[in-house]
Structure 1
Amino acid sequence: MHPTLRVLGARVHQPLIKFPGKRSWPSTPATPHAHPAAPPEFQKRFSDVAAASPSGAGKGETGSVISEFWEAPERFWRPRVRELEESEIDAVLSGGASLR
């Protein structure tokens, strides 16, 4: 069989993946909503919570922004580093051979 005839008779390869055009990000945030496949009781509960929350909540509020780490709740602070004992330093430097 001649390869040139096979190429000419075949269709042009069309990739299965389709890329959208240039990405454009929305300028305003989308309104929160429940997943369409969520059970009805979750959708109802979500709509109740969304209706009860103020409309400006979570949209660029600067009152909750902290500028120093000690203003944050203590659970977000870095854990205190304790001082290492000399025996622990020797164990690390020797690769664990000085444990005994």
Structure 2
Amino acid sequence: MHQPLIRFIGRRKWPSTAGPPHPHPAASPEFRNHFAQFLKKRETVPERETVSASSPHSQFWEAPSRFWKPRVRQLEDAEMDAIMSGGASSYGRH
């Protein structure tokens, strides 16, 4: 019986809450020194109003065409068959 060389010790348990903010261990010393100032600035920024989840358009075609028209041409049935068969359906046709 094959036994893997890697061994996992114990069960992993993910923390249920986020820890306190801190700079990345590989951050530059300059950033680490100014991290507390960064957090203060971040806390004083007013929150924006959340955008409502409802779409301004009730149907997709009411949106500008750049959002719903394909950028590539439509594939023909023969091309789709060739793709789906791995090219076997177009073998011998020219």
Q: If the TM-score is normalised by the length of the shorter chain, which range does it land in?
A: 0.3 to 0.5
TM-score, normalised by the number of residues in structure 1: 0.39
Which of structures 1 and 2 has the bigger CA Rg?
A: 1
TM-score, normalised by the number of residues in structure 2: 0.41
